[in-house]
Chain A
Amino acid sequence: EDQVTQSPEALRLQEGESSSLNCSYTVSGLRGLFWYRQDPGKGPEFLFTLYSAGEEKEKERLKATLTKKESFLHITAPKPEDSATYLCAVPPRGSSNTGKLIFGQGTTLQVKP
């Protein structure tokens, strides 16, 4: 069964304390791995797409990396405004439609000043 598992479920950091979020997946023939950010009461906001092992993408304090079985979202020197739930998602096996996604449960990040 295609699965996406994120860890930890929740993460509390002090401002400036760097860390990483993990997303592991079991889908073979990966056709993209997507990271989204979701603020409370809002819809998910697209962050990154990664397509192949070894690929990296950066945006401000966030860097996403991809291996054959997992992806990491590294947060460098986070600020309180980085507090949100971070979601990882992949298309199911055999699907060419990258809008049909299997989402992980998310990691809820809280950054304290």
Chain B
Amino acid sequence: NAGVMQNPRHLVRRRGQEARLRCSPMKGHSHVYWYRQLPEEGLKFMVYLQKENIIDESGMPKERFSAEFPKEGPSILRIQQVVRGDSAAYFCASSPAMDGELFFGEGSRLTVL
């Protein structure tokens, strides 16, 4: 049973470009979470999604960030017009239930030049 798969593992973007981070949850998991880990900071919740629905996006910056979890395919975290402050590790986690433990992917490390 494959774990949570994230890609790309490393992504370099110049300021103003777009970054797309993908996450395939564990088989049988319909709850997906995105977290961000800034340098020297702890993990911060960004968004919680179920298939085709954003349930809680209270941790998402109001501008430039969006997330989706379509009926088919991986969940995608999209960052438009990236700035240097977006450089961070972005972790996806999945769970079989809303009150279940989280299984994390290995993260996507975004570097903005």
Q: Which of B33, B91, B105 contacts A100 (CB 8 A)?
A: B33
Query: Are the C-beta atoms of B100 and A99 separated by less than 8 Å?
Result: yes
Shortest CB distance A36–B (Å): 8
Interface of chain A residues 86 through 102 with chain B (CB within 8 A): 87, 89, 96-102
Interface of chain A residues 24 through 66 with chain B (CB within 8 A): 34, 36, 41-46, 49
Shortest CB distance B97–A (Å): 9
Q: Known contacts A43-B106, A97-B99; is A104 also within 8 Å of B42 by CB?
A: yes
**A interface residues, how many (CB within 8 angstroms):** 22
**B67 contacts chain A at the CB level, 8 A cutoff:** no
Chain A: interface secondary structure?
Answer: loop
Query: Are the C-beta atoms of B42 and A34 separated by less than 8 Å?
Result: no
Shortest CB distance A72–B (Å): 19
Query: Are the C-beta atoms of B99 and A34 separated by less than 8 Å?
Result: no
Q: Which of B4, B91, B99 contacts A98 (CB 8 A)?
A: B99
Give the CA-CA distance A49 to B103 in the complex, in Å: 13
Interface of chain B residues 70 through 96 with chain A (CB within 8 A): 91, 93, 95
**B44 contacts chain A at the CB level, 8 A cutoff:** yes
**Interface residue tally on B, bucketed by range:** 20 to 34
**A78 contacts chain B at the CB level, 8 A cutoff:** no
Query: Are the C-beta atoms of A100 and B101 separated by less than 8 Å?
Result: no
Give the CA-CA distance A89 to B101 in the complex, in Å: 11
A36 to chain B: which residues have CB within 8 Å?
104
In this complex, the member of A36, A42, A43, A49 whose beta carbon has the largest number of chain B beta carbons within 10 angstroms is A43
**A7 contacts chain B at the CB level, 8 A cutoff:** no
Query: Are the C-beta atoms of A101 and B45 separated by less than 8 Å?
Result: yes
Closest A residue by C-beta to B44: A103
A-side interface residues toward B, CB under 8 Å?
A: 34, 36, 41-46, 49, 87, 89, 96-106
The 7 sampled A-B contact pairs (Cβ below 8 Å) are: A42-B107, A43-B105, A44-B43, A49-B101, A99-B93, A103-B44, A106-B42
